[in-house]
Amino acid sequence: MYKLFLKIATRYLVKNKLYSFINIFGLAIGVASFVLIMLYVNYERSYDTFDSSKNVHRVYMEYEEGGVFAPGDAQTFNLSGPTLKKEFPEITEQVRLSQLGKITFQYSNTIFEEDNGFVADGTYFDIFKYPLVSGTPKRS
């Protein structure tokens, strides 16, 4: 039975070449468009999602440097977080996170060097619920 269906479809495609090409090409464009749109939507929905932190937002800054527009990034002024928290009552907590290049620190008599490090405010573990490997997130 399927063999008969395949034979009929092949005959129709050969008989109506232009119409078949238009239909198959349209279907291919439609499927490719759907896949690309779904990939884009999936990427946009995955941006800035954190486990157990549904109300976390990133401050994004665009600026002009020397008369030339510089593309935006997540680097803002140091006082942006505390000022926004003070001015807007909807903001309950804020945290500043700065990336450092090579960092050297000392614990007791041992010196550690790391190629990539970050410095964060004490409220980091109030906002991001990541488990610690050891120790407690106490503030000084």
What digits encode the pLDDT tens for the residues 34-78? Answer: 999 999 999 888 776 766 667 787 787 777 878 888 777 777 778
Cβ atoms of 79 and 71 within 8 Å: the answer is no
Residue ranges of the domains in the chain? 2-46, 61-127
pTM of the model: 0.54
What confidence tens digit (pLDDT) does each residue in 72-109 have? 777 777 888 889 899 999 988 888 888 888 888 888 89
* Number of alpha carbons in the 13 Å side-chain half-sphere of residue 8: 5
